[in-house]
Homo-oligomer: A and B are copies of this chain.
Amino acid sequence: MALPVPLRGVIPPVCTPLDAHGEVDTTSLTRLVTHLLDGGVHGLFALGSSGEAAFLSDARRATALETVIKAADGRVPVLAGAIDTTTARVLDHARTAADLGADALVATAPFYTRTHPREIAAHFRRIRTAVGLPLFAYDIPMAVHSKLPTALVVELAEDGTLAGLKDSSGDDGALRRLAVRLGGRTARRTGPAPGFTLLTGSELTVDAALLAGADGVVPGLCNVDPAGYVRLYDAARAGDWERAAAEQERLVALFDMTDAGPESEMGRSSSALGSFKAALRLLGVIEHGATAFPQLPLSEESVAEVGRRLTSASLPPVR
């Protein structure tokens, strides 16, 4: 389907359920997509960090993306992460995603290597021209260890290289500066890059990002509670900021599930993604809560804690 310009709404970074052998559980993934669409989301982002793209072999990535696209069935656009160290490798993923029918690509700055902004610009330009799909820059310094400079994003927005930005930097001040550079809340659509889409990857400051003029939101926690983020989005769009903030607060409390795994025992990724998957299993959406190897599993006690968080947030477990 043609990607809306700008892309607006709630676009969850879809988790990738796995079976007992670490293979993509396509039945659970299909059910998860249904769960998200039933929640009212406006798009799907497959093979992002929450989708554990960094943990999936090429074959598993293709299976996951194919399953999401098939399950979405054209009802909402599907963005596909093309996550790899540098341009040539990203291009291989990007071409696969295009072949499988993705509606847009999401790529980070190069990582593993030390890169100059001019090299990052060349990277995005090459991807854009080599593959005929709208391209979103994925700003995620926690993973790639560089922050996309605001001036660089503006340049690539203005010249049409980028269709949008998914900001997972946690730097809401920089997001605000970018929004203002592009014209701000009232003039962005007539500014230097009128179709440019601003998305926040935050779970915790979605109301703030929307107040700042973001078009959409891509929160990992949305896998667990899509309807909640849609309510938050709708309240913000309606200008009911008090209601948006109240919904945000409920979701902030729910997000505490990501601390279920003790920091002394597992990585932060294992704990966060493990809690999302445990929640989805407790809610009856997916079959297994396992994260991809070598992430360590949540203990029974941690899973019980996830269950308590669900209950507190009015999302009672069904098993």
Contact = CB atoms under 8 A, between A and B. Distances in A.
A211 B241 contact: yes
Contact of A114 (B91, B248, B269): B269
A112 B184 contact: no
Tell me the interface secondary structure of chain A in the complex.
Answer: helix
Interface string A90-126: 0110000000000000000011111110111011001
A87 interface: yes
Interface stretch (A155-163, A191-199, A293-301): A293-301
Nearest to A208: B208
A173 B49 CA distance: 18
A87 B294 contact: yes
Q: Which among A173, A239, A268 has the highest number of chain B CB atoms within 10 Å? A: A173
A185 B245 contact: yes
Given A249-B185, A255-B177, A265 B116 contact: yes
Given A57-B92, A176-B204, 11 more contacts: A54-B86, A86-B293, A111-B111, A116-B270, A119-B266, A122-B293, A122-B296, A145-B145, A172-B205, A176-B248, A180-B249
